[in-house]
Amino acid sequence: MKRRVVVTGIGVVSPVGLNVPDFWTNLIAGKSGVDNITYFDTSNFDTKFAAELKGFDPLNYMDRKLSQRVDPFTQYALASSQEAMKDSGLDLEKIDHERAGVVFGSGIGGMWTYHNQQNNLYKRDGNPDRVSPFFIPMLIADIAAGRISMAYGLKGPNYATISACTTSAHSIADSVMLIERGDADIMVTGGSEAVICPMGVAGFNAMKALSTRNDDPQKASRPFEKNRDGFVMGEGGATLILEDLEHAKARGANIYAEITGFGLTADAFHITEPAPEGEGIGRAIRLAIQNSGMTVNEIDVINAHGTSTYYNDKNESLAIKNIFGEKAFDVPVHSVKSMIGHLLGAAGAIEAIAAILTIRDGIIPPTINYEEKDPECDLNYVVNTAMKKDVKTVLSENSGFGGHNTAIVFKKFED
């Protein structure tokens, strides 16, 4: 029999809170973390706003020397992991370090590092001596996983996943598999992203993916709403500590929830546009529910990808209707991207934490900025105000450029 996998620690640095309590309080309150970009001059940019990590100081989590040798995406990874490890109550002197690993991803990696080092090279006569010897180790997307393992001496499986906006959901799924088959007892998993930089915003603007609602940034992210015009970039990090159930019970760990199943699929259709009627994400949802040994009637809440783009929201809604049938019009659906923006590679993990807290507290955060109904998006969206509900199961799903799809089922733990 496969070993059962539970969540015993969580950590977050987000645009609406630099720790889990603040993050959750502000989500429930429907607070937007979106505002005008302060990191660089946006005068020539079509989009002038994003969901930045306001007030984040890496020196609150690491010494100055380390902070200067890691890209912001790795700083966010280390910060969220520090909170998650403390929250888990793991005693590093008592665990088997060879059976504790890390799978932690980033959709893009060190884009700020690339931007800064490229400036060093070309603004100084193209002299390669101006490029830092830490350029490559700061840039590569796997370095966050490596740095986390070094910080805690974790010597088990260690690698990064990279699958655009499904990156950290894939990290969670891989970590579950490693524990299920007995290759690890503890996994630190999640994702981080830091691409609110000139090339990041310019690139997404060039493909017409971002909202350009510059006159009212806080209302720009509006998943499933008729007047949506693109997603809002976000940044941050989210970490989950996963454990084999028996390992967690033996040490008396606090258990947030159990991960009972997941589905992983590909659209095999288009580099950015979802498959018609959300066929790919629909199959991922079906697989996740089947692998959990459940039916659609046992899913209490859907934590949607909900990007606030025309094609995603339309096709995701169709996928839910195709899989859930009439139940689709009853099950509450929500998207926290309306408040924190789209964290790209960190989206799956931070939304997984929101799903877990929904189970813990019986409160579903709202999808804010919902003003006018879209006839093509006609599900039971939780709009503008949080909903209280007894919740035992949450399905959290994500899609990414390249046609990647993930769905994960979180369930209230029952021994």
Write out the catalytic residue numbers. 165, 305, 342
Task: Tell me how far apart the alpha carbons of residues 172 and 131 are, in angstroms, rounded to a whole number.
Answer: 35
**Residue 319, both tokens:** 């996928």
Angle at 195 between CA 193 and CA 198, to 5 degrees: 175
**Residue 223, both tokens:** 């998943």
- The owner of tokens 């096709």 is 315
Going by DSSP bridges, is the β-strand pair 186-193/100-105 parallel, antiparallel, or unpaired?
Answer: parallel
SS3 content of the chain, % helix, strand, coil (to 5): 40, 20, 40
Q: Which residue type, as a one-letter code, is found at position 273?
A: E
| CA dist list (Å): 373 to 228, 276, 367 | 11, 21, 13
Task: Tell me how far apart the alpha carbons of residues 395 and 390 are, in angstroms, rounded to a whole number.
Answer: 15
Q: Which residue type, as a one-letter code, is found at position 207?
A: M
Task: Tell me how far apart the alpha carbons of residues 139 and 194 are, in angstroms, rounded to a whole number.
Answer: 11
- The owner of tokens 């959290």 is 396
- Classified as helix, coil or strand, 168 is helix
Could you list the beta-strand ranges (E) of 119-166. 158-159
User: In 156-266, which ranges are continuous DSSP H helix?
Assistant: 167-180, 198-206, 245-250
Rg (CA), the chain: 20
**Residue 62, both tokens:** 């690491």
Residues facing 192 on adjacent strands: 237
